Structure 1
Amino acid sequence: MNNKLPTTPTTKVLIIRLSSFGDIVQNLEAAYQMKESFPGAEVQWLTKSNFAPIVEVCPAVDRVWRFDKSSGLLGYLKFLIQLRRQNFTHVYDAHSNPRSFLAKLFLAFSRIDHRPKLATRSKNRLKRFALFKLRWNFFPQPYYSAQSFVTPIQKWLKDGSVKTRSLSLPTSEKTPSSPYVLCAPSAAWKNKRWPLSHWKKLIQINPSIRFVMLGGPEDTFINELYSLAPERVFNLAGKLSWIESATLVQEASAVISNDTGILHVADLIGRPTLALIGPTAFGYPTRPSSKTLEVDLPCKPCSKDGRDPCTNKVYQKCLVDITPERVSKELNKILNS
């Protein structure tokens, strides 16, 4: 007689999100949710090699698969064969592009004896067309992207509400001494950037605050902010990795950011944050530690990611009208609380 209790199959989850920095950070909430809903589950992640470091500091992800797109289609298929051996019970395509679609299909139908549960995050192309071309908005307002990454797998989850999380971030010798306000004045597209003159005014009307500026090596305009007050403005643009930047976010007294990846790191880990939201539709922070600053205009939103031209008579009016005085007032509320 066999007295052994039947064993429950291990829950093995694959989340597919290949890029980009901000989207991956917001998508991390799905990994935490799967861990909470399936105690003991093994959560794995497929992403491009250059974005792997930010996933690797997420304690809810057990393994990160790094994909190098230079390997071509044959290399990708060989890569998928390795993934197939994992026998995933759940596969979540959070990207919905040709590569992620191929991975999902390959894992779903390449074996007769094993079929994982599937979920896909839709790009909502028809809704986007209606919004940006016809000005008909069928999206929830405001649109919380972190929640949108959880909704497709809601059927698998016990809760599904977005929470403040932690990242396993290392200490960095490049971290300035506290206190400081972390600023992200850049963005991938210029139309998402709060005007440089506003950043200058913000620094000038807050003479006792130390500002740390983040950006990429191409963001040479940040030198103008540094030159205003080099004794209390730190220009670290192009000098830090994503992980080092995230460590600075974690240590900051407050964060001021355009709609960019730094905003979503700050929102994820619950740092007091001011989000400067201009023309984009989908970059709103989700957690109560973040406050969105924006203006209501009939032409807003006009772009998915800021790449579309501004059509207002006043260029970037949606950001110009977020005044330095308004941002300063909200910032000092945070610092004095």
Structure 2
Amino acid sequence: MKILIIKPSSFGDIIQALPCANALKEAYPGCFISWVVFNQWQDLPKLCSDIDEVIFWDRKNGLNGFFEVLGKVRATDFDLIIDLQGLLRSAFLAKFAKGKVKLGVPGMKELSNLLIKEVYPQNALMNATLRNLEPLRFLTGKKYEPKINITPDETLFKQFEPQLGKDFISFLPFARGKGKDWSLENYYELTDMFAEKYPDTKIAVLGSLGDFGKFQHNKITDLCGATDISSLAAVLSKSFLAVGADTGPMHLASVLQTPSVFIFGASDINETAPYIGKFSLLINKENPADIDKVTPTEVFAEIEKWKK
């Protein structure tokens, strides 16, 4: 059985969609799963052993990129096509790909549900990880427990071991989207608290190359821009703990079973909260958008719980 999953972006959303591949392998043993993803995220599905083929979509190439990826997927006659992105461009790709059955995830947008069938639209606001399993429930009548098979290449950590050693935690302080960034001042205060109590445990700050140098503190190791997705997974798998906002790398840390303290802001915690792994969720309940009302003392208390 040949199955195509269309989920081209973005980091955290792809992580929350990967359990669909595991459930498909359970439902249809021996099936061959192809995954369409934008070039910049191509290493994410490659981490997952349940995915047999990764098909790259060059988003920057505009309409030409769409027709290029359409040509790639039309080379195969699929038994099942699932659009987990739920946008017009992904639905067009599903519409014109060759497939016997075509389904979309609950919560399809941009009128994409006019192109392919949206299953259980009433479940559009459920947790994203569970929502991505709804097309399979529609097909089989069964609920599947979210599971994910990610195996980082631990040899990639060797290049960072001289800087970090074996006892370190990771801060992931940089998030996209208004109201998702906990202030650097809060992180500095948290760093002071942690370094005072655990002076032998190092702190790695992870982010993109554009974030390098933003976190100014003498107790941290700035690795922003030093990792790609594969080596980021290796670092996070070796980290004792991760702290950060609702970001893709934090969701990766959680599914890698690294204890993860999420500081939630404006994003919908009911929809985007992690479902798999070891995690704590902190949020300003009075006004979630005011993320800085979550105090360093509260975050440190959660770190202490995991340390014990």
Q: TM-score, normalised by structure 1?
A: 0.78
**Structure 1 unaligned spans of 5+:** 1-10, 109-114, 127-137, 301-315
Partner of 2:160: 174
Question: Which segments of 5 or more consecutive residues in structure 2 lack a partner in the other structure?
Answer: 111-121
What's 1:132 paired with?
none
2:207 is the counterpart of 1:219: no
**Partner residue of 1:329?**
301
What displacement does 1:291 show?
1.4
Per-residue CA shift, 1:127-178, capped at 9, x if unaligned?
A: xxxxxxxxxxx9798x522222222332235542213543343422224221
The equivalent of 2:81 in structure 1 is 91
Q: 1:243-285: CA deviations, max 9, x gaps? A: 1111111111111121101111022222211111111113211
Contact 1:119–1:153, Cα closer than 8 Å, also in 2: no
AA aligned opposite 2:241: A
| Candidates 241, 248, 257, aligned match of 1:261 | 248
Give the equivalent residue in structure 2 for 1:163. Answer: 147
Question: How much does 1:121 deviate?
Answer: 1.8
- Counterpart amino acid of 1:46? V
Note the aligned Cα RMSD (angstroms): 2.4
Distance in 2 of aligned mates of 1:220 and 1:241: 14
Instruction: Read off the aligned partner of 2:17 and give its amino acid letter.
Output: N
Number of equivalent positions: 286
- Distance in 2, Cα, partners of 1:252 & 1:156: 39
Pairwise CA distance, 1:220: 4.3
Cα distance in structure 1, aligned partners of 2:60 and 2:149: 33
Q: Distance in 2 between matches of 1:223 and 1:121?
A: 39
Change (3 A) 1:289 1:162: same
- Cα distance in 1, alignment partners of residues 51 and 148 from structure 2: 16
Distance 1:243 1:272 in 2: 19
Alignment of 1:60-99 (within 5 A): 60-74=50-64, 76-99=66-89
Post-superposition Cα deviations, 1:38-80, rounded to whole Å, max 9, x if no partner, equal 1111011011122111111210100001122344435533542
Is the Cα–Cα contact under 8 Å of residues 180 and 267 in structure 2 kept in the other structure? Answer: yes
Tell me the residue number matched to 2:114: none
1:19 is the counterpart of 2:9 = yes
Distance 2:232 2:137 in 1: 31
Aligned to 1:238: 225
Cα distance in 2, alignment partners of residues 242 and 103 from structure 1: 26
Aligned partner of 1:210 in structure 2 is 202
Letter of the 1:119 counterpart: L
Matched, 1:196 2:184: yes
- Which is higher, the Rg of structure 1 or of structure 2? 1
Q: Distance in 1 between matches of 2:66 and 2:185?
A: 46
Q: What does residue 279 of structure 1 align with?
A: 266
